Amino acid sequence: MPFFVLAAIGLAGCANREEPIRSYTVSSLKHRTMGAMLRQNDAAWFFKLTGPIKSVNEISKNFDDFLASVKFAKPSDPPDWKLPEHWVQEPGDTMRFATLKIDSVNPPLEVSVTKLPLAATSGDWTDYQLMNVNRWRKQLQLPPLEPKELVAQTKPLEVPGLLGTVVDFVGTPGPTPKKGSMGPMMGGAMGPMMGGADGMDGHPPMGPAAATPPARPAADLPFTYDLPADWKSVPSRQFVLASFEAQDGDKKVLITISSAGGDLLQNINRWRGQVQLAPTTAEQLKQDLQELPVGTEKGQYIRLVGAEKSLFGVVLQTAEATWFFKLLGDGGLAERERPRFEAFVTSVKFNEGAR
């Protein structure tokens, strides 16, 4: 194995941990994820490359060189870097700071660059790293690491004045989600958050949009609900379990239900960006959240009112998953539909064992 892989990226046995045979309908093609996390004050920068192992292997040294070039002129500045040959930087969006396209391999690859707030749960950097490393491992159907394994399975990334970590592991991509169903997390899919479905880590899939799947039959969902009379079921995006629409003339609001992972503050700040509001802090979020029942459970409810659009969202964290109920659209219509949205969320009842 090339020295640069061992020196810069923490294999440390990740690629050698054999996965049990699983009865999924997936490609047997192995994928490789190379990634890095950098802490900058109360935020973290994520750099992620993932794809078929042959293609990633061809440019792994380029990725190492790219990481080595990352620097920050000032502690509060965004990063700067030197692009390897044949890499093209494209502008970011509400989810990504930048996307680095690599067309010199087949299939073409990309590096996602994302900035996210640190976890509001504890602010502990080790916990934060572990959460995101395990999220990336889950995308390749690798078992989660225990806290004591983190140091052995990662390597430090040396950027002056900042804490950094790099990872490198090989696995099998998870199953392609059935149409209308949720899939494994993301960054890549949003990933970290960061994609993109609610609850993802900020790394939504880039490139051509996938075909819109049909609406999922209510009988196939892991919960029941009382649907308002004039809400209609509509096709769901990938990773979204159910979608509904309310309309008044040319004004619309979309109501979605999804389930994934991710930190509460990260997801709320992503929601705030969708209605053009600035990020909030963990302290302010505690004041803004209200309690709203989700069946027999207690959800955390937030109202986000922007200049043109509003978003009302409920986050329900259970032992097995985090559920997201969201209404987003025209501000006036959203406010009109708010009482019915609240009643709809309250009416949700999970099937036994589905939470």
Same domain flag for 140 and 224? no
Q: Is residue 199 part of a domain?
A: no
**Any idea what the CATH number is for the domain that residue 280 is in?**
3.40.1000.10
**Section 33-39 average pLDDT:** 92
Same domain flag for 68 and 151? yes
Q: Is residue 192 part of a domain?
A: no
Is residue 63 a contact partner of residue 86, using CB atoms and an 8 Å limit? no
Residues 72-115: pLDDT tens digits? 888 778 889 999 999 999 877 656 788 999 999 999 999 999 88
| Coil, helix or strand at residue 114 | strand
Residues 322-338: pLDDT tens digits? 889 999 999 999 999 99
pLDDT of residue 181: 37
Structural domain harbouring 322 = 218-350
Q: Is residue 187 part of a domain?
A: no
Closest CA to 254 of 305, 312, 327, 180: 327
Residue of 269 and 13 predicted with greater confidence: 269
Q: Is residue 92 part of a domain?
A: yes
Same domain flag for 126 and 269? no
Residue of 157 and 217 predicted with greater confidence: 157
Number of domains in the chain: 2
Q: Report d(CA 30, CA 56) in Å as an integer.
A: 11
Same domain flag for 262 and 335? yes
Residue of 310 and 162 predicted with greater confidence: 310
Residues 280-295: pLDDT tens digits? 899 999 999 999 999 8
pLDDT of residue 175: 62
Same domain flag for 228 and 151? no
The residue among 113, 137, 171 that closes a domain is: 171
Taking the chain, what is the end-to-end CA distance rounded to the nearest angstrom?
Answer: 43
Q: Is residue 167 part of a domain?
A: yes
For the chain, the average pLDDT equals: 77
Residues 150-182: pLDDT tens digits? 888 888 887 777 778 899 999 998 764 443 333
Is residue 177 a contact partner of residue 183, using CB atoms and an 8 Å limit? yes
Closest CA to 119 of 281, 322, 274, 259: 281
Same domain flag for 33 and 162? yes
Q: From the CB of residue 26, how many other CB atoms can be counted at a distance below 10 Å? A: 12
Q: For the chain, give the percent of residues with pLDDT over 90.
A: 41
Question: Side chain identity at 223, as an amino acid letter?
Answer: F
pLDDT of residue 355: 52
Residue 319 in this model has a pLDDT that exceeds 80 = no
Same domain flag for 141 and 288? no
Residue 205 in this model has a pLDDT that exceeds 80 = no
Same domain flag for 24 and 167? yes
Q: Is residue 191 part of a domain?
A: no
Is residue 205 a contact partner of residue 196, using CB atoms and an 8 Å limit? yes
Same domain flag for 154 and 223? no
Same domain flag for 257 and 167? no
Q: Report d(CA 166, CA 5) in Å as an integer.
A: 11
**Section 26-31 average pLDDT:** 68
Q: Report d(CA 191, CA 200) in Å as an integer.
A: 5
Same domain flag for 156 and 7? yes
Is residue 313 a contact partner of residue 320, using CB atoms and an 8 Å limit? no
The residue among 116, 140, 171 that closes a domain is: 171
Q: Is residue 276 part of a domain?
A: yes
pLDDT of residue 212: 41
Same domain flag for 157 and 239? no
Q: Per the structure block, which two tokens stand in for 126?
A: 């080790």
The residue among 105, 137, 171 that closes a domain is: 171
Q: Is residue 233 part of a domain?
A: yes
